[in-house]
Structure 1
Amino acid sequence: MPLDAMTGRDDDELLARYAAGDAEAARVLTARLGPPVFAHAMRMLGGDRAEAEDVTQEAMLRLWRAAPGWDAGGAKPRTWLYTVTANLCIDRLRRRRGGMADIDAVPEPADGAPSAVAGLQRAERAAALQAALDELPDRQRQAVVLRHIEGLGNPEIAGIMDMSVRAVESLIARGKRALEERLLGRRAELGIDGDDG
Protein backbone atom coordinates (compact mmCIF):
# COMPACT_ATOMS: atom_id res chain seq x y z
CA MET A 1 0.00 0.00 0.00
CA PRO A 2 1.39 3.48 -0.84
CA LEU A 3 2.72 5.66 1.99
CA ASP A 4 0.05 8.36 1.58
CA ALA A 5 -2.68 5.74 2.03
CA MET A 6 -0.91 4.36 5.12
CA THR A 7 -0.68 7.64 7.01
CA GLY A 8 -4.48 7.84 7.38
CA ARG A 9 -4.68 4.41 9.03
CA ASP A 10 -5.10 4.05 12.80
CA ASP A 11 -2.38 2.52 14.96
CA ASP A 12 -4.20 -0.80 15.45
CA GLU A 13 -4.58 -1.31 11.71
CA LEU A 14 -0.95 -0.42 11.05
CA LEU A 15 0.21 -2.86 13.73
CA ALA A 16 -1.94 -5.61 12.21
CA ARG A 17 -0.49 -4.85 8.77
CA TYR A 18 3.03 -5.03 10.21
CA ALA A 19 2.22 -8.40 11.81
CA ALA A 20 1.09 -9.57 8.36
CA GLY A 21 4.48 -8.60 6.90
CA ASP A 22 3.88 -5.03 5.69
CA ALA A 23 7.18 -3.18 6.31
CA GLU A 24 5.71 0.16 5.19
CA ALA A 25 3.17 -0.04 8.02
CA ALA A 26 6.06 -0.40 10.48
CA ARG A 27 7.78 2.67 9.04
CA VAL A 28 4.61 4.78 9.34
CA LEU A 29 3.90 3.56 12.87
CA THR A 30 7.50 4.18 13.94
CA ALA A 31 7.42 7.70 12.50
CA ARG A 32 4.14 8.36 14.30
CA LEU A 33 4.85 6.81 17.71
CA GLY A 34 8.64 7.00 18.01
CA PRO A 35 8.95 10.78 18.63
CA PRO A 36 6.38 11.00 21.46
CA VAL A 37 7.83 7.86 23.09
CA PHE A 38 11.33 9.37 22.86
CA ALA A 39 10.11 12.71 24.29
CA HIS A 40 8.43 10.88 27.18
CA ALA A 41 11.60 8.90 27.89
CA MET A 42 13.70 12.10 27.79
CA ARG A 43 11.48 13.72 30.40
CA MET A 44 11.32 10.64 32.59
CA LEU A 45 15.11 10.19 32.44
CA GLY A 46 16.04 13.78 33.14
CA GLY A 47 17.14 14.60 29.61
CA ASP A 48 19.60 11.72 29.13
CA ARG A 49 19.41 11.44 25.32
CA ALA A 50 21.39 8.19 25.02
CA GLU A 51 19.26 6.40 27.59
CA ALA A 52 16.06 7.82 26.09
CA GLU A 53 17.10 6.50 22.67
CA ASP A 54 17.81 3.07 24.20
CA VAL A 55 14.43 3.04 25.97
CA THR A 56 12.61 4.14 22.80
CA GLN A 57 14.29 1.43 20.77
CA GLU A 58 13.52 -1.23 23.40
CA ALA A 59 9.87 -0.10 23.69
CA MET A 60 9.40 -0.20 19.90
CA LEU A 61 11.07 -3.63 19.71
CA ARG A 62 8.66 -4.92 22.34
CA LEU A 63 5.75 -3.55 20.30
CA TRP A 64 7.01 -5.35 17.17
CA ARG A 65 7.37 -8.59 19.16
CA ALA A 66 3.83 -8.20 20.53
CA ALA A 67 2.32 -7.42 17.09
CA PRO A 68 1.50 -10.99 15.97
CA GLY A 69 -0.66 -11.60 19.05
CA TRP A 70 -2.00 -8.04 19.41
CA ASP A 71 -5.55 -7.76 20.72
CA ALA A 72 -7.06 -4.86 18.78
CA GLY A 73 -9.87 -4.64 21.33
CA GLY A 74 -7.43 -4.14 24.21
CA ALA A 75 -4.96 -1.35 24.88
CA LYS A 76 -4.12 1.06 22.09
CA PRO A 77 -0.53 0.82 20.80
CA ARG A 78 0.24 4.39 21.96
CA THR A 79 -1.06 3.74 25.49
CA TRP A 80 0.76 0.42 25.63
CA LEU A 81 4.01 2.09 24.50
CA TYR A 82 3.71 4.83 27.14
CA THR A 83 3.29 2.14 29.79
CA VAL A 84 6.28 0.13 28.55
CA THR A 85 8.39 3.30 28.23
CA ALA A 86 7.54 4.47 31.73
CA ASN A 87 8.38 1.05 33.19
CA LEU A 88 11.70 0.91 31.34
CA CYS A 89 12.54 4.44 32.53
CA ILE A 90 11.62 3.66 36.13
CA ASP A 91 13.86 0.57 36.01
CA ARG A 92 16.76 2.71 34.76
CA LEU A 93 16.13 5.40 37.38
CA ARG A 94 16.15 2.79 40.13
CA ARG A 95 19.46 1.42 38.85
CA ARG A 96 20.85 4.97 38.83
CA ARG A 97 19.91 5.44 42.46
CA GLY A 98 21.94 2.36 43.20
CA GLY A 99 25.05 4.44 42.53
CA MET A 100 25.32 4.10 38.76
CA ALA A 101 24.86 7.74 37.75
CA ASP A 102 25.24 11.21 39.25
CA ILE A 103 22.22 13.42 38.53
CA ASP A 104 24.52 16.44 38.07
CA ALA A 105 26.21 14.59 35.20
CA VAL A 106 22.96 14.22 33.23
CA PRO A 107 23.06 16.60 30.25
CA GLU A 108 20.25 19.09 29.69
CA PRO A 109 18.10 18.61 26.62
CA ALA A 110 18.97 20.94 23.74
CA ASP A 111 16.82 24.07 23.58
CA GLY A 112 16.10 25.93 20.31
CA ALA A 113 15.55 29.33 21.95
CA PRO A 114 15.15 32.52 19.89
CA SER A 115 17.87 34.45 21.80
CA ALA A 116 20.84 33.59 23.98
CA VAL A 117 19.39 35.30 27.08
CA ALA A 118 15.95 33.79 26.59
CA GLY A 119 17.59 30.43 25.89
CA LEU A 120 19.62 30.58 29.09
CA GLN A 121 16.59 31.55 31.13
CA ARG A 122 14.50 28.82 29.52
CA ALA A 123 17.27 26.29 30.13
CA GLU A 124 17.52 27.37 33.79
CA ARG A 125 13.77 26.99 34.19
CA ALA A 126 13.81 23.59 32.47
CA ALA A 127 16.74 22.43 34.60
CA ALA A 128 15.00 23.65 37.77
CA LEU A 129 11.79 21.88 36.77
CA GLN A 130 13.67 18.70 35.85
CA ALA A 131 15.58 18.76 39.15
CA ALA A 132 12.30 19.22 41.05
CA LEU A 133 10.68 16.42 39.00
CA ASP A 134 13.65 14.16 39.75
CA GLU A 135 13.01 14.59 43.48
CA LEU A 136 9.43 13.32 43.19
CA PRO A 137 8.63 9.66 43.83
CA ASP A 138 8.56 7.69 40.54
CA ARG A 139 4.77 7.32 40.32
CA GLN A 140 4.12 11.01 41.10
CA ARG A 141 6.68 12.08 38.50
CA GLN A 142 5.17 9.74 35.92
CA ALA A 143 1.64 11.07 36.54
CA VAL A 144 2.71 14.73 36.44
CA VAL A 145 4.79 14.25 33.28
CA LEU A 146 2.00 12.38 31.47
CA ARG A 147 -0.61 14.97 32.45
CA HIS A 148 1.18 18.31 32.27
CA ILE A 149 4.02 17.68 29.85
CA GLU A 150 2.67 14.97 27.55
CA GLY A 151 -0.85 16.43 27.78
CA LEU A 152 -2.70 13.15 28.33
CA GLY A 153 -6.06 13.00 30.07
CA ASN A 154 -6.52 11.42 33.50
CA PRO A 155 -8.46 8.39 32.17
CA GLU A 156 -5.66 7.59 29.70
CA ILE A 157 -3.04 8.06 32.43
CA ALA A 158 -5.06 5.72 34.66
CA GLY A 159 -4.87 3.08 31.92
CA ILE A 160 -1.13 3.56 31.46
CA MET A 161 -0.41 3.44 35.20
CA ASP A 162 -2.94 0.69 35.92
CA MET A 163 -4.80 2.60 38.63
CA SER A 164 -8.07 4.44 39.13
CA VAL A 165 -8.68 7.94 37.79
CA ARG A 166 -9.13 9.12 41.37
CA ALA A 167 -5.69 7.74 42.31
CA VAL A 168 -4.17 9.50 39.29
CA GLU A 169 -5.80 12.79 40.32
CA SER A 170 -4.37 12.36 43.82
CA LEU A 171 -0.87 11.62 42.49
CA ILE A 172 -0.98 14.64 40.20
CA ALA A 173 -2.22 16.95 42.96
CA ARG A 174 0.48 15.77 45.38
CA GLY A 175 3.13 16.03 42.68
CA LYS A 176 2.10 19.57 41.73
CA ARG A 177 2.16 20.66 45.40
CA ALA A 178 5.62 19.15 45.86
CA LEU A 179 6.91 20.87 42.70
CA GLU A 180 5.47 24.19 43.82
CA GLU A 181 7.14 23.87 47.23
CA ARG A 182 10.49 23.05 45.61
CA LEU A 183 10.32 25.91 43.10
CA LEU A 184 8.59 28.62 45.16
CA GLY A 185 11.80 30.12 46.57
CA ARG A 186 13.41 30.25 43.10
CA ARG A 187 10.81 32.40 41.29
CA ALA A 188 12.93 35.57 41.21
CA GLU A 189 16.09 33.65 40.31
CA LEU A 190 14.31 31.97 37.41
CA GLY A 191 12.71 35.22 36.18
CA ILE A 192 9.15 34.18 36.96
CA ASP A 193 6.88 36.98 38.14
CA GLY A 194 3.67 36.43 40.05
CA ASP A 195 1.55 36.19 36.89
CA ASP A 196 3.64 33.59 34.99
CA GLY A 197 3.05 30.79 37.52
Structure 2
Amino acid sequence: MDARAEDAQLMARYAAGDMAAARVLSARLSPRAYAHAYRVLGDSAEAEDVAQEALLRLWKQAAKWDAGRAQASTWVYRVVANLCTDRLRKRRESGLDEIDVPADPSAGVEARMQDAARYDALQAALLRLPERQRQAVILRHIEGLANPEIAEILDVGVEAVESLTARGKRALTADLAAQRDALGYDDDTV
Protein backbone atom coordinates (compact mmCIF):
# COMPACT_ATOMS: atom_id res chain seq x y z
CA MET A 1 0.00 0.00 0.00
CA ASP A 2 1.42 3.43 -0.90
CA ALA A 3 1.81 6.26 1.61
CA ARG A 4 -1.20 8.16 0.28
CA ALA A 5 -3.49 5.15 0.73
CA GLU A 6 -2.04 4.45 4.18
CA ASP A 7 -2.60 8.06 5.25
CA ALA A 8 -6.19 7.95 3.97
CA GLN A 9 -6.79 4.71 5.83
CA LEU A 10 -5.32 6.18 9.02
CA MET A 11 -7.55 9.26 8.68
CA ALA A 12 -10.63 7.06 8.29
CA ARG A 13 -9.64 4.98 11.31
CA TYR A 14 -9.09 8.11 13.39
CA ALA A 15 -12.47 9.51 12.31
CA ALA A 16 -13.98 6.24 13.56
CA GLY A 17 -12.36 6.78 16.97
CA ASP A 18 -9.08 4.85 16.63
CA MET A 19 -6.55 6.93 18.60
CA ALA A 20 -3.70 4.60 17.64
CA ALA A 21 -4.24 5.62 14.02
CA ALA A 22 -3.90 9.28 15.02
CA ARG A 23 -0.61 8.55 16.80
CA VAL A 24 0.78 6.72 13.77
CA LEU A 25 -0.24 9.49 11.37
CA SER A 26 1.14 12.13 13.75
CA ALA A 27 4.44 10.29 13.92
CA ARG A 28 4.59 10.31 10.12
CA LEU A 29 3.53 13.91 9.53
CA SER A 30 4.85 15.83 12.56
CA PRO A 31 8.57 15.70 11.71
CA ARG A 32 7.93 16.88 8.16
CA ALA A 33 5.57 19.65 9.30
CA TYR A 34 8.06 20.82 11.93
CA ALA A 35 11.03 20.67 9.54
CA HIS A 36 9.24 22.70 6.89
CA ALA A 37 8.05 25.29 9.40
CA TYR A 38 11.52 25.57 10.92
CA ARG A 39 13.18 26.06 7.56
CA VAL A 40 10.70 28.77 6.62
CA LEU A 41 10.58 30.55 9.98
CA GLY A 42 14.08 29.87 11.36
CA ASP A 43 12.72 29.49 14.90
CA SER A 44 12.22 26.13 16.60
CA ALA A 45 9.54 27.25 19.08
CA GLU A 46 7.46 28.84 16.35
CA ALA A 47 7.98 25.79 14.15
CA GLU A 48 6.69 23.53 16.93
CA ASP A 49 3.62 25.74 17.34
CA VAL A 50 2.95 25.70 13.60
CA ALA A 51 3.37 21.93 13.32
CA GLN A 52 1.02 21.35 16.25
CA GLU A 53 -1.57 23.75 14.88
CA ALA A 54 -1.43 22.07 11.46
CA LEU A 55 -2.02 18.63 12.99
CA LEU A 56 -4.84 19.95 15.19
CA ARG A 57 -6.51 21.30 12.07
CA LEU A 58 -6.03 17.94 10.38
CA TRP A 59 -7.72 16.14 13.28
CA LYS A 60 -10.65 18.55 13.10
CA GLN A 61 -11.04 17.60 9.42
CA ALA A 62 -10.90 13.84 10.02
CA ALA A 63 -14.64 13.22 10.19
CA LYS A 64 -15.24 14.86 6.82
CA TRP A 65 -11.95 13.88 5.16
CA ASP A 66 -12.25 13.10 1.44
CA ALA A 67 -9.25 10.92 0.59
CA GLY A 68 -9.89 11.29 -3.13
CA ARG A 69 -9.72 15.06 -2.94
CA ALA A 70 -6.50 15.62 -1.01
CA GLN A 71 -3.50 13.76 0.32
CA ALA A 72 -3.04 14.22 4.08
CA SER A 73 0.65 15.09 3.79
CA THR A 74 0.04 17.64 1.03
CA TRP A 75 -2.80 19.15 3.02
CA VAL A 76 -0.56 19.45 6.10
CA TYR A 77 2.23 21.08 4.07
CA ARG A 78 -0.27 23.59 2.70
CA VAL A 79 -1.56 24.42 6.19
CA VAL A 80 2.03 24.78 7.45
CA ALA A 81 2.86 27.05 4.51
CA ASN A 82 -0.18 29.24 5.24
CA LEU A 83 0.54 29.38 8.98
CA CYS A 84 4.16 30.32 8.26
CA THR A 85 3.03 33.05 5.90
CA ASP A 86 0.74 34.44 8.62
CA ARG A 87 3.54 34.38 11.20
CA LEU A 88 6.02 36.04 8.84
CA ARG A 89 3.47 38.75 8.07
CA LYS A 90 2.94 39.36 11.80
CA ARG A 91 6.71 39.52 12.34
CA ARG A 92 7.08 42.14 9.63
CA GLU A 93 4.25 44.16 11.12
CA SER A 94 5.70 43.96 14.63
CA GLY A 95 9.35 44.48 13.63
CA LEU A 96 10.50 41.19 15.22
CA ASP A 97 12.52 40.27 12.12
CA GLU A 98 15.09 42.88 13.14
CA ILE A 99 15.98 41.10 16.41
CA ASP A 100 19.20 39.11 16.21
CA VAL A 101 18.97 35.45 17.20
CA PRO A 102 21.77 34.48 19.60
CA ALA A 103 24.34 32.10 18.16
CA ASP A 104 24.49 28.53 19.45
CA PRO A 105 27.35 28.47 22.01
CA SER A 106 27.94 24.72 21.91
CA ALA A 107 30.98 23.38 20.10
CA GLY A 108 31.84 19.87 18.96
CA VAL A 109 34.40 18.14 16.81
CA GLU A 110 35.62 19.81 13.65
CA ALA A 111 33.29 17.95 11.29
CA ARG A 112 30.30 18.73 13.47
CA MET A 113 31.28 22.37 13.56
CA GLN A 114 31.66 22.46 9.82
CA ASP A 115 28.27 20.79 9.34
CA ALA A 116 26.72 23.32 11.70
CA ALA A 117 28.36 26.19 9.81
CA ARG A 118 27.07 24.83 6.52
CA TYR A 119 23.59 24.35 7.94
CA ASP A 120 23.60 27.87 9.42
CA ALA A 121 24.83 29.38 6.17
CA LEU A 122 22.13 27.59 4.22
CA GLN A 123 19.44 28.54 6.74
CA ALA A 124 20.54 32.19 6.67
CA ALA A 125 20.60 32.19 2.88
CA LEU A 126 17.14 30.57 2.78
CA LEU A 127 15.80 33.26 5.10
CA ARG A 128 17.10 35.94 2.72
CA LEU A 129 15.06 34.51 -0.17
CA PRO A 130 11.63 35.94 -0.91
CA GLU A 131 9.02 33.88 0.94
CA ARG A 132 7.52 32.09 -2.07
CA GLN A 133 10.94 31.15 -3.46
CA ARG A 134 12.00 29.96 0.00
CA GLN A 135 8.96 27.72 0.37
CA ALA A 136 9.32 26.31 -3.14
CA VAL A 137 13.05 25.56 -2.69
CA ILE A 138 12.50 23.95 0.73
CA LEU A 139 9.61 21.82 -0.46
CA ARG A 140 11.43 20.71 -3.62
CA HIS A 141 15.06 20.35 -2.64
CA ILE A 142 14.94 19.72 1.10
CA GLU A 143 11.60 17.97 1.58
CA GLY A 144 11.87 16.21 -1.81
CA LEU A 145 8.32 16.89 -2.99
CA ALA A 146 7.38 16.81 -6.65
CA ASN A 147 6.47 20.01 -8.47
CA PRO A 148 2.75 19.13 -8.79
CA GLU A 149 2.53 18.62 -5.00
CA ILE A 150 4.32 21.91 -4.40
CA ALA A 151 1.98 23.65 -6.83
CA GLU A 152 -0.97 22.35 -4.84
CA ILE A 153 0.57 23.40 -1.52
CA LEU A 154 1.47 26.90 -2.70
CA ASP A 155 -1.70 27.25 -4.78
CA VAL A 156 0.19 28.09 -7.97
CA GLY A 157 0.81 26.37 -11.30
CA VAL A 158 3.60 23.86 -11.90
CA GLU A 159 5.36 26.37 -14.17
CA ALA A 160 5.35 28.91 -11.34
CA VAL A 161 6.91 26.29 -9.03
CA GLU A 162 9.63 25.62 -11.60
CA SER A 163 10.31 29.33 -11.90
CA LEU A 164 10.31 29.88 -8.13
CA THR A 165 12.71 26.99 -7.49
CA ALA A 166 15.03 27.99 -10.34
CA ARG A 167 15.20 31.62 -9.17
CA GLY A 168 15.63 30.48 -5.56
CA LYS A 169 18.47 28.09 -6.44
CA ARG A 170 20.25 30.81 -8.44
CA ALA A 171 19.91 33.24 -5.54
CA LEU A 172 21.18 30.65 -3.03
CA THR A 173 24.15 29.80 -5.26
CA ALA A 174 25.08 33.47 -5.59
CA ASP A 175 24.56 34.09 -1.87
CA LEU A 176 26.68 31.12 -0.75
CA ALA A 177 29.40 31.40 -3.42
CA ALA A 178 31.54 33.80 -1.37
CA GLN A 179 31.48 31.38 1.58
CA ARG A 180 32.69 28.27 -0.28
CA ASP A 181 36.19 28.24 1.21
CA ALA A 182 35.03 29.09 4.73
CA LEU A 183 32.47 26.28 4.59
CA GLY A 184 35.05 23.77 3.40
CA TYR A 185 33.82 23.35 -0.16
CA ASP A 186 36.81 23.06 -2.44
CA ASP A 187 35.08 21.32 -5.33
CA ASP A 188 31.87 21.81 -7.32
CA THR A 189 29.56 19.85 -4.98
CA VAL A 190 27.70 22.92 -3.68
* TM-score when normalising by structure 2: 0.90
Q: Residue in 2 aligned with 1:77?
A: 72
Residues 36-72 of structure 1: CA deviation (Å, up to 9, x unaligned): 11111111111x1111111111000000111111111
Post-superposition offset of 1:181:
1.2
Q: How many residues were matched structurally?
A: 185
1:1-197 matches, cutoff 5 A? 10-46=6-42, 48-98=43-93, 99-102=95-98, 104-105=100-101, 116-197=109-190
Question: RMSD of the TM alignment (CA)?
Answer: 2.0
Percent identity, aligned pairs only, is 61
Q: Given the superposition, is the C-alpha separation of residues 74 and 55 from structure 1 closer, same or farther in structure 2, using an over 3 Å criterion? A: same
How far 1:94 sits from its partner (Å)? 2.0
For 1:3, the equivalent position in structure 2 comes to none
Consecutive unaligned residues of structure 2, counting only runs of 5 or more, are none
Relative to structure 1, the CA distance from residue 82 to residue 106 in structure 2 (aligned partners, 3 Å threshold; closer, same or farther) is farther
Secondary structure, counterpart of 1:187 in structure 2: coil
What TM-score does the superposition give when structure 1 sets the normalisation length?
A: 0.87
Change (3 A) 1:71 1:63: same
Q: Which runs of 4+ in 1 moved over 6 A?
A: none
Q: Secondary structure at the match of 1:190?
A: coil
1:154-175 deviations in whole A, cap 9, x for unaligned? 1111111111111100000000
**Cα distance in structure 1, aligned partners of 2:168 and 2:65:** 34
